[in-house]
Amino acid sequence: MNEQQQQVIEKTVEFVREKFSGESSGHDWWHMYRTWQLAKTIAVREPQADPFITELGALLHDIADWKFHDGDENAGPKAAREWLKSLQIEESVIVHVEDIIRTVSFKGAGVASNMKTLEGKIIHDADKLDAIGAIGIARTFAYGGANNRAMYDPDQKPEQHDSFDAYKANRGPTINHFYEKLLLLKDRMYTDTAKQLAQKRHEYMEQFLQEFYAEWEGKQ
């Protein structure tokens, strides 16, 4: 990146950090930070990726998540456009970042992801890595608590949603989310680096669930 692009990244870091300071649902500044760092880690092994778009997209990928904007899938791209236009970023970069934000979200077990560019695939993988493993478990329960979801209900089974609308409408217990999303992510990674990192995190979640059920039944 050139000096001007680096300054844009620095301004965007401060913008996102301030906007999400104190957020407690697991979609806070530190999620953006970890996604940004993971994206840079993956991009090292994908040198053909544009580092400026990769870092911008990672920092802005959750700038206005549909989950916190009444299901509006355009809230994120719109917020990113407003910010980038304020920095006088060229239109082609804005359009690319908008598309990444619009496409990056998990939309249900039966809905395929469709990242079109290498930069988008890197950001997708970085975001999904932060949704699994120890951090992913912590974020899942933070989100569930923030949204008044039961921790677990043995009588309410997980669903494999076949549309984004069905996924958005789901209000199931937090444990169900492991089966409806988190345990599916390992096999949806695009890059080899993310696939390797995801394996360990996936296994950790499986171990957690085994322990959870044993404790739930009073066996531990």
Q: Write out the chain's pLDDT in tens, 220 residues.
A: 899 999 999 999 999 999 888 777 778 899 999 999 999 999 999 989 999 999 999 999 988 765 655 656 788 899 999 999 999 999 999 999 999 999 888 777 777 788 999 999 999 999 999 999 999 999 999 999 988 999 999 999 998 888 877 877 788 899 999 999 999 999 999 999 999 999 999 999 999 999 999 999 887 6
Distance CA 143, CA 149 (A): 8
Q: What is the pLDDT of residue 161?
A: 84
Contact 200, 135 (CB under 8 A): no
Q: Of 92, 26, 14, 23, whose CA–CA distance to 60 is shortest? A: 14
Domain boundaries, the chain: 3-216
Q: What is the pLDDT of residue 70?
A: 61
Q: What is the pLDDT of residue 163?
A: 82
Return the CATH fold of 3-216.
Answer: Hypothetical protein af1432 (1.10.3210)
Burial of 90 (0-12, 13-18, 19+ CB in 10 A): exposed
Element (DSSP H or E) covering residue 55? helix 51-60
Distance CA 2, CA 21 (A): 29
Contact 205, 137 (CB under 8 A): yes
Q: What is the pLDDT of residue 73?
A: 74
172 three-class SS: coil
